[in-house]
Amino acid sequence: MGLYVIAVKCEEYRNGIKIGEVVRDITVPVFNCPFVSLNENILENNTLVYPNPSMGLINIEITEPTFLIVYNVNGVQVYSKQLLETNNKIDLTLLNKGLYLFKFNTKEKQFYKKVVVK
């Protein structure tokens, strides 16, 4: 975690002679994100999340009670719900477009799925 600065320097040349330059700094906040290297090719417990990408209305099929937490790319929790039914529908249409991390907590384990809201 921390705040980092990236500097970009652009130099302008005309006929091989430098005629100017511009330097801009970009401040980038970095958060602790344990989700970067997740292998999500196989979803645990036969959990299905679709469609992906989605317009915000998402279907989740589960085989056991699951607690769902949704995080945005900054690691901020933006949604949570206890899923008790086999077929669940959640509405994320009020969220900004982008990538979200779905964290599923069952009685014995937790697993993740990345979902794009467009």
Query: pLDDT value at position 71?
Result: 94
pLDDT above 70 coverage of the chain, percent: 86
Q: Which of 52, 56, 58 is nearest to 94 (CA)?
A: 56
Task: Quickly state the pLDDT bin for 90 (edges 50, 70, 90).
Answer: very high
Burial of 26 by CB count in 10 Å (0-12 exposed, 13-18 middle, 19+ buried)?
A: exposed
Bigger pLDDT: 80 vs 29:
80
Asked whether 88 and 80 are in contact (CB, 8 A), the reply is no
Q: Residue 40 above 60 pLDDT?
A: no
Q: What distances in angstroms separate CA 67 from CA 26, 59, 79, one per listed residue?
A: 38, 15, 11
Question: What is the DSSP pairing of strand 98-105 with strand 110-117?
Answer: antiparallel
Query: For 51-73, what is each residue's pLDDT tens digit?
Result: 999 999 999 999 899 999 999 98
Query: pLDDT value at position 39?
Result: 46
| Mean of the per-residue pLDDT values of the chain | 86
Q: What angle do CA 108, 109, 115 make, to 5 degrees?
A: 145
Q: Decide: pTM greater than 0.75.
A: no
| Domains observed in the chain | 44-117 (2.60.40.3080)
Query: For 2-21, what is each residue's pLDDT tens digit?
Result: 778 888 899 999 999 999 99
Task: Quickly state the pLDDT bin for 31 (edges 50, 70, 90).
Answer: low
